[in-house]
Amino acid sequence: MAASKKHRLRDSALRRLLFVLCVTLCGVLLLIFIFGSKSISRIEIIRNLDIADDGSSAYRRELKVSERVKLPKQNEMSLRLEKLNGLPPRNSDLYPNLAKDRIVVVLYVHNRPQYLRVVVDSLSNVVGINETLLIVSHDGYFEDMNKIIDGIRFCQVKQIYAPYSPHLFSNSFPGVSPGDCKDKDDAKGKRCEGNPDQYGNHRSPKIVSLKHHWWWMMNMVWDGLRDTREHSGHILFIEEDHFIFPNAYQNLQSLTSLKPKKCPDCYAANLAPSDVNSRGEEWPSLIAERMGNVGYSFNRTVWRKIHNKAREFCFFDDYNWDITMWATVYPSFGRPVYTLRGPRASAVHFGKCGLHQGQGENKACIDSGMMNIRVDDPDKVSNIESDWVVHVYKNQPGYKAGFKGWGGWGDDRDRRLCLSFATMYSIGTTSPV
């Protein structure tokens, strides 16, 4: 009898424990739903986030960062921004249902608010932008840039910040370290740290951040973010000095749909010609040409091919991500890397100064008249025809295999950090080109 009574008491206690666990789990799920469905103030959260003593974060654990990766020690701002990366998209209450065949848009920026205002305004007029997710990837943390993004109400928007941006580290790598070599210093003679590039110049954090940001962003978007790491379609990449026309999203949908049939050898789809000074030929045909860097999009299969060339990317002595791709990554694929586009540009590059130039207080870099980019009637509606043939440009001018690079990327620390970005997130799935 005593044994039977003990069994009943034990069973009763177990049932009570299971009941408490179920109630707790339901409460947690309810909180996740509430916070996931409402807009969240980034400014308030960054002020209130607590930093874990061991430098870890829930987001980092969520992303399954490889323990084997050797990354620089993070400072307080870097850790706070990494936590911000785990927040859900804003405006999900305004746009709760994204299109199943959506093309995610990624806008990568540094600190040119005078440009960003123009880009955001152009995106607000893009037909179909409310159907998808806009991801804004920041190289550094700048309130003027954040305020502009905070004002977006035309689609779901998510901000991510490169946690190892040189702009976040004022006295340590990847920023400037006190013992770093400068210019053409002799490392042995001055007993300073660093490896010069092929031209004898030591690293400049402002310059190397261009390539670091692009490579981190690609790895983050394709393999790190829970919002996109299962995304099987194309992702469009634009910069803070790309004006996007109203028909851009619709045209890109047409191009990505036609690409497998019209140009099976094309790796990507572009919104603009590779020649940034061209608005297109306006022929009644599609165009296949070398992949440009204005409004380019590709899918996960192409990303896997790029990711597999991480060592080539990270060891090529050029601080430009696009020149690195043209001169070493694309040629390693074994066949020409074509992109498909329309005969009339749906995006234009309007910046007159480089990504990290013109940031002084008295020299905001912007060209007069830039605000008056002409948008004609054909730029407002889809103008891609499915029965058009494809005109292929072969042997185009530009950077190719054999170009040795402009330098700026000779420091072993930058190369190791670059390789770390390639392995810090779990590997995603693939999809057909």
- Pair 270, 339: CB distance under 8 Å: yes
Question: How large is the average pLDDT for residues 56-63?
Answer: 38
Distance CA 28, CA 30 (A): 5
How many H-runs (helices) and E-runs (strands) does the chain carry? 13, 11
Residue numbers belonging to the annotated binding site: 139, 241, 349
Which fold, 76-352+368-424?
Answer: Spore Coat Polysaccharide Biosynthesis Protein SpsA; Chain A (3.90.550)
Q: Report pLDDT for 70.
A: 81
* pTM, to two decimals: 0.83
Helix (H, G, I), strand (E, B) or coil at 138: strand
Q: Helix axis angle, 300-307 relative to 205-219, nearest 10°? A: 130
Instruction: Write the pLDDT tens digit of every residue in 241-256.
Output: 999 999 999 999 999 9
CA distance 305 to 181: 35
What was the pLDDT predicted at 5? Answer: 46
Token readout for 354 is: 């480089």
Percent of the chain with pLDDT over 70: 78
How high is the pLDDT of residue 55? 35
User: Which has more pLDDT, 429 or 130?
Assistant: 130
Q: Which of 242, 228, 218, 420 is nearest to 302 (CA)?
A: 218
Binding residues for substrate: 139
What's the mean pLDDT in 204-231? 96
pLDDT, tens digit (0-9, with 9 covering 90-100), for 310-337: 999 999 999 999 999 999 999 999 999 9
Binding positions for Mn(2+) are 241, 349
- Band (pLDDT 50/70/90 cuts) for residue 13 is low
Average pLDDT, the chain: 85
CA 34/CA 389 separation, integer angstroms:
50
Least confident range from 24-28, 58-62, 74-78: namely 58-62
Judge contact between 162 and 138, C-beta under 8 A.
yes
pLDDT (mean) for 379-395: 96
Residue 40 confidence (pLDDT) above 60: no
Band (53; pLDDT cuts 50, 70, 90): very low
Amino acid at 291: M
pLDDT of residue 161: 98
Residue entry with tokens 């030591």: 202
Task: List the one residue out of 286, 335, 315 whose CA is nearest residue 416.
Answer: 315
Residue 12 has pLDDT above 70, yes or no: no
User: 96-147: per-residue pLDDT in tens?
Assistant: 999 999 999 999 999 999 999 999 999 999 999 999 999 999 999 999 999 9
Average pLDDT over residues 145-151: 97
H or E element at residue 317 = none
